[in-house]
Amino acid sequence: MIKTINLTKKFDKIIAVNNLNLEINQGEIFGFLGPNGAGKTTTIKLLTGLLTPTSGDGFIDGYSIRGNPIKVKEVIGYIPDQPYLYPKLTGEEFLQFVAQLYGIENSNPAIIELLETFKLVPYKDNLIESYSHGMCQKLVIASCLLHNPKVIFVDEPMVGLDPKSIRLVKDIFRKNSKRGVTIFMSTHTLDLAQDLCTRMGIINEGRLIALGTMDELRKTTKGEELEDVFLQLTKEVSGLDKSGLKS
């Protein structure tokens, strides 16, 4: 469902993504982890068509991100870490606008269902500029689901959400995964990744350094929890003792 072949992105002399090779199956919830600046968001922007690869290629549902970018955009949904919305539209107007972009006919029932799911019905006629960050995030997630994408790319999905909304979004991701939707999720919240993801990849300095299920990642280190595995693999604890102080 998602495949990359030597996917590479350079910015001048900086190699942000370096020969990335991944294969993610239909229905997986895949966690893409790494330190700040590791190349996670750049990878997502490459796969969603927001950036052009320097070399290599990626395939979404069989469509090349280089050769068939329009078809790629038709089958994907994207939830960015910062919700980009039109503040002078109401919540309902924004979803109607998204429905028109995707050519969805008779979209009102789906729009109302999503507004109800995310508890936004009381605010559907309010301008988005009056929404809290969490409400904006829920509206973005709703807009992503509106056209029933086959693949969803998510960059820090829970930012600004309260615990009840976090549980709701996790349940939605699991439900979509069970019906065959592939979810590619980048997050710094390792507990979330360990709880939700069926498989994970860890990227550091643009290179994929680990790939597998939680049990498979445990075997590569002495760590039991994902935090321990992550820190050992990315060498974030180099020179520190268990208390976090330099030895």
Q: What is the CATH number of the domain that holds 75?
A: 3.40.50.300
Q: How far is CA 110 from CA 100, 147, 168, 213, in A?
A: 13, 9, 18, 35
Are the beta carbons of 212 and 199 closer than 8 angstroms? Answer: yes
Is 240 part of a structural domain of the chain?
no
pTM of the model: 0.90
Q: Is residue 114 part of a domain?
A: yes
Q: Is residue 60 part of a domain?
A: yes
pLDDT at 242: 41
Q: Is residue 247 part of a domain?
A: no
Domain that holds residue 162: 2-234
Does residue 244 lie within any of the structural domains?
no
Q: Does 243 fall in a domain?
A: no
In whole angstroms, give the CA distance from residue 64 to residue 220: 33
* pLDDT per 10-residue tile (average), the chain, 247 residues: 97 95 97 94 96 97 96 95 91 97 94 97 98 94 96 90 92 96 94 94 95 90 86 64 40
Q: Is residue 209 part of a domain?
A: yes
Q: Is residue 124 part of a domain?
A: yes
Give the pLDDT of residue 244: 42
Total domains, the chain: 1
